[in-house]
Amino acid sequence: MKTYVVGNWKLNFTVGEASIYLHKLLKRLPVYRDVEVVVAPPFIALQSLSLQIDRHKLKLASQDGYYKDFGAYTGETSFSQLRGLVNYAIVGHSERRYVFHEDDKTIAKKVAAAVRNKITPILCVGETESERAFGEMKDLIRDQVIGGLREVADDNLDKVVIAYEPVWAISSVKGAKSASPEEVAEVIRLIRETLVDAYGRNAAEKVPVLFGGSVNSANVGGYLTIPGVNGVLVGGASLILQEFTDIIEIAKRVRV
């Protein structure tokens, strides 16, 4: 399996800044066959960046998408509109869940709509600090994994990626802490077991599972050597060119 390095730019960069950043990144980046480099810019930059990128070096992701194809849904962008523009879509990010109140039902529809439009959803799951403190982490992760995949046909499981992002480890969250390798390993195992129970071992082992939350060039090597971690989802550090290229380099060397 490839190692994934996904940069989530969130609400950062103007279209011009995004283009300059990507130009510099492409110049530095060789073609790595065993590292899948993906960036998720803001929607407004996707069209122009899709003309600029070399897809042998890197792929684009959207940060979200709407499950209806067309219609009276002011402000939304559908996966059918994103088709051909992006290869991946981040779905169910904790900022969508907690800031914009998306639930598992909505997220399941988005995951299915992405698959239907030949876009690989990166389904994000993760508990808050208080959910962990109250002992709800295991049930919550299981519910988010099973709930998010509910509308995906069994034989399409190989078209999804899962990312574990504990909300308390996201750098922009107040008082964020880095997750320890043991904490990450436990949840990665839980995600894999949940997939095995629901879909069988063969299918479950084909699903890439990423880790995200304050990943940077200093800690990425450690996270990538955790058994079952197939890559990283990077927020803040993906906005800094040197950091992001270092992370990609390390992913190439560590190779899970």
Residues identified as active-site = 93, 165
- Cβ closer to ligand 13P: 39 or 137? 39
Q: Minimum distance from CB of 111 to ligand 13P (Å)?
A: 16
Distance CA 39, CA 58 (A): 8
Residue 62 or 204: which CB sits closer to ligand 13P? 62
For ligand 13P, the closer of residues 93 and 110 by Cβ is: 93
Select the residue whose beta carbon is closest to ligand 13P and give its number. 235
Q: Which of 141, 160, 167, 171 is closest to 209 using CA atoms?
A: 160
| Nearest-approach distance from CB 74 to ligand 13P, in angstroms | 26
92: left (phi over 0), alpha (psi -120 to 50) or beta: left
Give the binding site for ligand 13P (CB under 6 A).
8, 93, 165, 170-172, 212-215, 233-237
161/234 with CB nearer ligand 13P: 234
12 versus 156: smaller Cβ distance to ligand 13P: 12
HEC-encoded secondary structure of the chain: CCEEEEEECCCCCCHHHHHHHHHHHHHHCCCCCCEEEEEECCHHHHHHHHHHCCCCCCEEEECCCECCCCCCCCCCCEHHHHECCECEEEECCHHHHHCCCCCHHHHHHHHHHHHHCCCEEEEEECCCHHHHHCCCHHHHHHHHHHHHHCCCCHHHHHHCEEEECCHHHCCCCCCCCCCCHHHHHHHHHHHHHHHHHHHCHHHHHCCCEEEECCCCCCCHHHHHCCCCCCEEEECHHHHCHHHHHHHHHHHHHHCC
Residue 154 Cβ vs ligand 13P, minimum distance, rounded to whole Å: 27
Closest separation between CB of residue 201 and ligand 13P, Å?
28
Least separation, in Å, of the C-beta of 220 and ligand 13P? Answer: 10
